[in-house]
Chains A and B, each alone.
Chain A
């Protein structure tokens, strides 16, 4: 889930004012934005230097099994390694596991580990560590992510460099989940020794990653230093190690204006958190380059299908066609988004080949017609009525990019076809709890994912009620397709099942994919070798270097 902070409107106004001043004071405009995920590369990489990354919030814990926070994932990718990795196109590639075999019944995975991999403490990484890591994860009480490997029955270390994972049932997502940062390989003895303190301070962390953590001052900064022994970088990066930069300092700067000022004055070289209000101004900046990249995300409105009048599919279809997504892209997201036509964003296995076929087009006339058919006639005040009752729906929301613009825009669009939308904004923690209670009608949210399963099974399987299936959506054929996709290790069959799920979901019209957000990062002209990873922006940091 996207963890962006909300901003006070007053603050946003002041920032805009300041932004205007900057653009007035700034030199001659030039186009500084680069499209795509790659920044400029100038000359040969040089070793040395300190890279400072400005970010919105601190890491929670460096125990990868105890958190799913993006702010922890960023660090964990640099201090740890995983058996498998996801490439920049999200396909799976080997890492600490050089290769693996899957048994014919799809229930036994045999991993052959890379030799010569060492933890910072000097200990060799062996099968016993992998076994310990998976067993700890599986059994860790209160781990928010252990359900990802729940189908594992047992893990055995056949010899020092062979791990055998046996599943209770076929599970097509095992490898993908072993590539997540939660599956970072731990040092068995070291982790046992530090127990509950593991990952709470630099002294209680040991990993095999390209960077060691040397200092951590909460809510302030976290320092990583190059691991000089590292030579086992995954195939998906150019430099296999050691890293070029001496140090990476992650500085927490919660306030957007301050964060960008640090970047513009050269005190920081990278941030993945560029406030939307700053984007237009920074496009003409000499001191900061904006680099866009796409992760996989969808901003959506979900409808509670068992609540009148949303139990009427015509009402749901009308709402779908009343939404002008292009207006949301341009006016709500300042162009930093693309219109969403399906739940799964294009580019990910399982995304529909031709999403336009199943998606709804903006057509307010058709929406009005559907509402007429459903018995909702236009009333005198512009709000439709049926049996003397006005067509009123509550839209619940909490946080998200540009929410203060997007939500009223959606409200106005629905008003045009005669639907009155009452807005209800809740603070995030309260929102989640209220949604679980199921009193909502329409809800607005965004989701980030690295597999189609991460949206489709998540939201649309009937076993996921009351949350995350907050729509009371029950469809046996969808359940079957989702189960089939999970069990399958045939990529084509899996993708087909996911496509079919989406066709059905769109037909049932209770879920409106609105936009896929684009991410914008701010990059200093000195930072080279940047290639942004959709799942983890700076990834391992191995290719990054600083020019003078």
Chain B
């Protein structure tokens, strides 16, 4: 097991290398000059030249990449070309807020999607099944901004139950908890729909199999059949998708963050892309890559706990 983890960790190195090269190339090959964005659209050519020199953008791309990697290996992600603040500080300030939102959304998604998916499968074609199908279709097809604005409209603007926008502090404070509810539900809406449908179909697959009939034939209680025999076997694909969804949420829910003025990494990255703030974009992407790889590894390890037949060597 530990050898497996070690091997997987080593395998991440090429991934990070690849990600860093790709991001670097995409940024440098895409149109838009950071010096122009800082100096202003109409600054005289010598000002733009001076800014470009100051940022080292006048050097060849491979040289810039080499010095970038060198600095990253020393733990230095550089400074934002816009605000001059160290990238590590910017990321450190936004990461916990994005993580709060992502974890809250995931918890909501699991708590809502798993039970509905299971009930829909067990009571197939009942009104509950049809109802969840309709809700899932809505959840998948409604754009996040529409869900967010509608929730905000009803719960914050009309009923004044929850704050409209902003980060309210750590989630264990009342203010912080109330502030995270709407953005988290909004972020979760798509995941809920996907996970509920997946849980349902996965459960149906398993329930149709021989060992379930055997279990029922043995006279086991329906609860035990469903939760002990069927669910454990049905969970594997759900966990995989859960991992992917969580990775996506950690990458920053830009739309949710924008609507709810949530100061997370998604908005940091978006603003940095629009203003061609290369060091910030690179820093965020690197961190998101780490998160994705980490979550995937975690998912693979969880498989083993859910299904003991899976062995690591």
Interface positions of A (Cβ within 8 A of B)? 1, 8, 10-11, 14-15, 18, 21, 57, 60-61, 63, 66-68, 141-144, 146-147, 196-197, 199-201, 217-221, 251-255, 257-258, 261-262, 264-265, 267, 426-430, 432-434, 436, 447, 458, 464, 466-468
The answer to whether A147 and B43 have CB atoms under 8 Å apart is yes
Taking a contact as CB atoms under 8 Å apart, the answer to whether B41 and A432 are in contact is yes
A464 to B47 alpha-carbon distance, docked (Å): 12
Q: Does B259 contact A (CB under 8 A)?
A: yes
Complex: A251 Cα to B38 Cα, angstroms: 23
Cβ distance A151 to chain B, nearest Cβ, rounded Å = 13
Q: Is the CB of A436 within 8 A of B46?
A: no
Bound-complex Cα distance A464 to B46 (A):
11
Inside 8 A of B259's CB, which chain A residues have their CB?
255, 257-258
Q: Which residues of A contact B260 (CB under 8 A)?
A: 255, 258
Task: Give bound CA distance, A68 to B41, whole Å.
Answer: 10
Q: Which 6 residue pairs across A and B have the least CB separation, nearest first?
A: A429-B32, A142-B54, A220-B263, A468-B42, A430-B31, A219-B263
Residue of chain A at shortest CB distance from B160: A265
Question: Do A196 and B84 contact each other (CB < 8 Å), given the known contacts A68-B40, A430-B32, A467-B41?
Answer: yes
B242 interfacial contact with A, CB 8 Å: no
Q: CA–CA, A193 to B237, complex, Å?
A: 57
The answer, among B51, B83, B152, B164, for a CB contact under 8 Å with A142, is B51
B55 within 8 A of A: yes
Query: What is B's interface to A at a CB cutoff of 8 Å?
Result: 30-33, 36-47, 50-51, 53-55, 79, 82-85, 90, 93-94, 143, 145-146, 149, 152-153, 156-157, 160, 164-167, 258-261, 263, 267-268, 271, 274-276
Evaluate contact between A429 and B164: CB separation under 8 angstroms: no
Cβ A458 vs Cβ B42 within 8 A: yes
A84 to chain B, nearest CB (A): 22
CA distance A66 to B145 in the complex (A): 35
How far, in whole Å, are A467 and B43 apart by their CA atoms in the complex? 8
| A18-B153, A252-B263 given; A433·B40 CB < 8 A | no
Partner of B84, one of A1, A66, A430: A66
**Chain A nearest CB, measured from B30 CB (Å):** 8
B165 pairs with A253, CB closer than 8 A: yes
CA distance A197 to B43 in the complex (A): 24
Q: A141–B50 contact, CB under 8 A?
A: yes
Question: How far does the alpha carbon of A142 sit from the alpha carbon of B84 in the complex, in Å?
Answer: 11
Contact B267 A258 (CB under 8 A): no
CB of B43 within 8 A of CB of A61, answer: no
In the complex the two chains form, what is the Cα distance from A197 to B84 in whole Å? 7
**Measured CA separation A63–B85 after assembly (Å):** 11
Can you offer 26 A-B residue contacts whose CB atoms are under 8 A? A1-B41, A10-B143, A14-B146, A60-B82, A61-B83, A61-B84, A67-B82, A68-B40, A141-B50, A141-B54, A147-B44, A147-B46, A218-B263, A252-B263, A253-B165, A255-B259, A261-B156, A261-B164, A262-B164, A265-B156, A265-B164, A429-B37, A429-B274, A432-B36, A436-B36, A468-B41
Q: Which residues of B contact A430 (CB under 8 A)?
A: 30-32
Which of A143, A144, A258 makes the CB contact (< 8 A) with B164?
Answer: A258
Contacts of B84 on A, CB cut-off 8 Å? 61, 63, 66, 196-197, 199-200
**Given A142-B50, A261-B156, does the pair A432, B33 have CB atoms closer than 8 Å?**
yes
Minimal Cβ-Cβ distance residue in A for B259: A255
Q: Are B164 and A14 in contact, CB atoms less than 8 angstroms apart?
A: no
Which A residues lie within 8 Å of B165 (CB)?
253, 255, 258, 261-262
New A-B pairs, 13, CB < 8 Å, besides A10-B145, A258-B260, A429-B274: A11-B145, A68-B40, A141-B50, A141-B53, A144-B40, A146-B47, A218-B93, A220-B263, A221-B166, A251-B166, A257-B152, A428-B274, A429-B33
Q: Which residues of B contact A1 (CB under 8 A)?
A: 40-42
**Complex: A10 Cα to B263 Cα, angstroms:** 23
Please judge, given known A-B contacts A57-B271, A144-B40, A147-B44, whether A217 and B32 are in contact too, CB under 8 Å.
no
Nearest CB of chain A from residue B242's CB, rounded to whole Å: 28
Contact between A255 and B47, CB atoms less than 8 A apart: no
Contacts of B274 in A (CB 8 A): 427-429
Q: Whole-angstrom distance between the alpha carbons of A217 and B263 in the complex? A: 8
The interface residues of chain B lying within 8 Å CB-to-CB of A68 are 40
- A146 vs B49: C-alpha distance when bound (angstroms): 13
Please name all residues of chain B whose beta carbon is closer than 8 Å to the beta carbon of A15 when the two chains form the complex.
Answer: 149
**B30, B44, B45, B83: the one within 8 Å of A60 (CB):** B83
Q: How far is the CA of A143 from the CA of B51 in the complex (A)?
A: 7
Partner among B82, B267, B276 whose Cβ is within 8 Å of the Cβ of A429: B276
Q: Are the C-beta atoms of A253 and B261 separated by less than 8 Å?
A: yes
Is A254 touching B51 in the complex (CB atoms < 8 A)? no
Cα A264 to Cα B164 in complex, Å, equals 11
B152/A258 in contact, CB under 8 A = yes
Contact B258 A200 (CB under 8 A): no
Chain A nearest CB: distance from B40 CB in Å?
5
Q: Are A144 and B47 in contact (CB under 8 A)?
A: yes
Across-interface contacts of B53 in A (CB, < 8 A): 141-142
Complex Cα distance, B165 from A141, in Å, reads 39
Which residue of B is nearest A447, CB measured? B42
Residues of B within 8 A of A67 (CB): 38, 82
A256 to chain B, nearest CB (A): 10
Known contacts A57-B271, A218-B90; decide if A427 and B164 are in contact (CB<8 Å).
no
B33 contacts across to A, CB distance below 8 A: 429, 432-433
Known contacts A252-B263, A258-B260; A433 and B157 CB within 8 A of each other: no
Q: Chain B: which residue is nearest A221 at the CB level?
A: B166
Take A141-B53, A218-B263, A218-B268 as given contacts and tell me if A257 and B42 are in contact as well, using a CB distance cutoff of 8 Å: no
In the complex formed, the residue of B with least CB distance to A62 is: B83
With a CB–CB cut-off of 8 A, which chain B residues contact A144?
Answer: 38-40, 43, 47, 51
Q: Which residues of the other chain, A, contact B156 by a CB distance below 8 angstroms?
A: 261, 265
CA distance A538 to B214 in the complex (A): 76
A220-B261 in contact given A433-B31, A433-B32 (Cβ < 8 Å): yes
CA distance A133 to B47 in the complex (A): 19
| Residue among A15, A146, A429, A447 facing the most chain B CB atoms (10 A cut-off) | A429
> Which residues on the A side are within 8 Å of B51 (C-beta)?
142, 144
CA distance A63 to B84 in the complex (A): 9
Q: What A residues does B263 contact at CB under 8 A?
A: 217-220, 252
How far does the alpha carbon of A255 sit from the alpha carbon of B41 in the complex, in Å?
25
Distance A60 CA – B271 CA, assembled complex (angstroms): 11
B275 cross-chain contacts in A, Cβ below 8 A: 429
B149-A18 in contact (CB<8A): yes
Q: Which chain A residues border B271 with CB–CB below 8 Å? A: 57, 219
Across the interface, do B54 and A434 meet the contact criterion of CB distance under 8 Å? no
C-alpha gap A220/B257 in the complex (Å): 11
Q: For residue B30, which residues in chain A have a CB less than 8 angstroms away from its CB?
A: 430
- B36 contact set on A, CB distance < 8 A: 429, 432-433, 436
Q: Taking A253-B261, A429-B276 as contacts, is the C-beta distance between A464 and B267 under 8 angstroms?
A: no
Complex CA gap A449/B55 in Å reads 28
- Residues of A contacting B44 in the complex (Cβ-Cβ under 8 angstroms): 147, 464
Q: How far apart are the CA atoms of A434 and B33 in the complex, in Å?
A: 10
Within the assembled complex, what's the spacing in Å between the Cα atoms of A11 and B144?
A: 11
Interface centre among B46, B84, B275 (most CB of A within 10 A): B84
Cβ contacts under 8 Å, B94 to chain A: 218-219
Nearest neighbor of A21 in chain B, beta-carbon distance? B153
CB distance from A249 to the nearest CB of B (A): 11
**A175 CB, nearest partner CB in chain B, Å:** 21
Q: With CB as the reference atom, state the residue of chain B lying closest to A253.
A: B261
A252 cross-chain contacts in B, Cβ below 8 A: 261, 263
